[in-house]
């Protein structure tokens, strides 16, 4: 049996302690079930037998199973609602068998749900008097977050700057040959729009329904259910965001790369489509004194991190406007094996998505299940510079 990549190290399952609060891991092995389903069994008494649908094509190597009956009690007990998922991977060599792991919240009191204020043009996530992030709803092309702030209220995003007006804080966008959902071109037939059809707060998270289409209303490409939550981690001096998405293709198409990709040492190219965040101006200054990049917690250079497929990338930098500059860091995490688009030389940017390393053909009915985590933190100490 081939094991999935999620949390795998030296042949055993593990989870980095820095990956939110999901600190308890148990293994379970699947056996072949009826057509279109896989029945999961385990020797652990606390994980009852359950079934998950596998009849739909999925991308990214990880499918998130939401709201399974045995985990509903977690949310009812005011524990971390996003812990109730099963991450699993199916490999062609598995012969119909799968191995997954269940992520459980740690013992103790769960973080208090953040207040979500839904307005006509935006949604605010608040922790007391601090606005952790503002989701812009009235953009004509796509919803995006700006600003995102640390617990000390330092902003870590830039939206529509003079150098790249398509950069909008934290946003998600893709591109196909006949529609571009990333770079907007108003009035052009290829201009894509993510129409927000509904928003609501549910169980401490924001739930959105979106339709991906052309600006003129045609070429319906995806229906998307997007769930976004945020919590405060005082001991880590951070706000931790979870971004979960399920997109269903409404027509056949191909996800393509941009013409402005970055070339990798192996001759492949790294694309920036997917979930991406534009970082403050000072985070692109040359040298190692103003900013830096960490790959799985270790200092490195942006060009070395670019194209890797590990679980996390961190970008840190100084904050403008102070005599003694405070510092902040943004860590993005994903378990899909997507390549990381990391840039520091022209501007600070991190992104990951399903068409980062390779273009993809998508059939009508194909489903993308994606989950990301973004940690926005205040730093006490400057990280070490990368090796020479």
Band of pLDDT at residue 321, cut at 50, 70 and 90: confident
| Alpha-carbon gap, residue 189 to 180, rounded angstroms | 10
Q: Which residue has the tokens 């109730």?
A: 84
Assign 162 a pLDDT band (cuts: 50, 70, 90).
low
Query: How high is the pLDDT of residue 185?
Result: 80
Q: Does the pLDDT at position 59 exceed 90?
A: no
pLDDT at 112: 67
Task: Give the residues across from 104 on adjacent strands.
Answer: 24
What would the mean pLDDT of 10-29 be, rounded to a whole number? 32
In contact, 148 and 132? CB cutoff 8 Å: yes
Residue 10 pLDDT > 90: no
Q: Please say whether the beta carbons of 15 and 36 come within 8 A.
A: no
Least confident segment among 54-63, 257-266, 318-327? 54-63
Give the mean pLDDT of 232-248: 98
Q: What are phi and psi of 69, to 5 degrees?
A: -60, -35
What's the pLDDT score for residue 160?
Answer: 73
Give CA–CA dist 208/163, Å, rounded: 30
Please enumerate, as own/partner, the contacts of 67-72 that have beta carbons within 8 Å and a separation of 24 or more: none
Tell me, what's the pLDDT at 322? 87
The per-residue pLDDT for 111 is 59
What are the angstrom distances between the C-alpha of 234 and each of 64, 112, 127, 132? Answer: 27, 11, 11, 13
Mean model confidence pLDDT for the chain: 78
CA distance 20 to 142: 27
Give the position of tokens 């007006």: 165
Phi, psi angles (nearest 5°) of residue 83? -80, -15
Task: Report CA-CA distances (Å) from 28 to 3, 31, 42, 105, 284.
Answer: 11, 10, 5, 17, 44
Q: Which of 343, 273, 332 is nearest to 305 (CA)?
A: 343
Q: Which of 68-72, 213-217, 261-265, 304-308 has the lowest mean pLDDT?
A: 68-72
CA-CA distance, 18 to 375, in Å (whole number)? 10
Percent of the chain clearing pLDDT 70 (strictly above) = 70
Given a contact cutoff of 8 angstroms between Cβ atoms, the answer to whether 145 and 171 are in contact is yes
Q: Cβ of 334: how many Cβ atoms within 10 Å?
A: 24
Q: How confident is the model at residue 346 (pLDDT cuts 50, 70, 90)?
A: confident
Lowest mean pLDDT among 4-18, 179-193, 250-264: 4-18
Q: Which residue has the tokens 């729009």?
A: 193
Q: What is the pTM of this model?
A: 0.74
Whether 365 has a pLDDT exceeding 90, the answer reads: yes
Q: Are 355 and 257 in contact (CB under 8 A)?
A: yes
Residues of the chain with pLDDT > 90, as a percent, come to 63
Burial of 266 (0-12, 13-18, 19+ CB in 10 A): exposed
């Amino acid at each position: 049996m081939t094991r999935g990549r999620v949390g795998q190290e030296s042949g055993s399952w593990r989870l980095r302690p820095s990956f939110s609060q999901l600190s308890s891991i148990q293994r379970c092995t699947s056996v072949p079930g009826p057509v279109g389903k896989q029945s999961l069994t385990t020797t652990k008494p606390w994980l009852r037998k359950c079934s998950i649908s596998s009849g739909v094509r999925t991308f990214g190597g990880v499918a998130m199973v939401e709201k399974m009956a045995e985990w509903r009690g977690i949310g009812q007990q005011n524990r971390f609602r996003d812990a109730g998922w099963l991450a699993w991977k199916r490999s062609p060599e598995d012969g119909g068998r799968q191995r997954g792991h269940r992520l459980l919240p740690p013992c103790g009191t769960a973080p208090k749900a953040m207040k979500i204020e839904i307005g006509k043009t935006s949604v605010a996530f608040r922790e007391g008097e601090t606005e952790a992030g503002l989701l812009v709803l009235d953009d004509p092309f796509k919803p995006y977050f700006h600003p995102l702030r640390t617990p000390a209220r330092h902003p870590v995003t830039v939206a529509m700057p003079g150098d790249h007006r398509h950069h909008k804080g934290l946003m998600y966008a893709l591109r196909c040959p006949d529609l571009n959902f990333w770079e907007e071109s108003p009035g052009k037939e290829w201009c894509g729009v993510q129409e927000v059809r509904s928003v609501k707060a549910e169980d401490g998270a924001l739930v959105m329904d979106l339709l991906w289409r052309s600006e003129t209303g045609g070429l319906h490409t995806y229906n998307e259910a997007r769930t976004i939550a945020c919590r405060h981690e005082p001991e880590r001096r951070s706000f931790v965001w979870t971004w979960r998405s399920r997109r269903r293709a409404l027509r056949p198409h191909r996800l393509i790369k941009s013409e402005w990709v970055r070339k990798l040492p192996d001759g492949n190219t790294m694309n920036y489509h997917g979930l991406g965040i534009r970082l403050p101006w000072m985070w692109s200054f040359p040298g190692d004194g103003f900013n830096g990049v960490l790959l799985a917690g270790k200092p490195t250079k942006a060009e070395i991190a670019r194209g890797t497929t590990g679980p996390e990338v961190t970008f840190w930098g100084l904050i403008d406007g102070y005599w003694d500059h405070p510092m902040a860091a943004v860590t993005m995490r994903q378990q899909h094996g997507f390549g990381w688009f990391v840039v520091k030389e022209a501007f600070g940017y991190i992104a990951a998505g399903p068409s980062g390393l390779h273009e993809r053909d998508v059939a009508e009915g194909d489903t993308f299940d994606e989950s990301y985590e973004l940690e926005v933190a205040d730093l006490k100490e400057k990280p070490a510079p990368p090796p020479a």
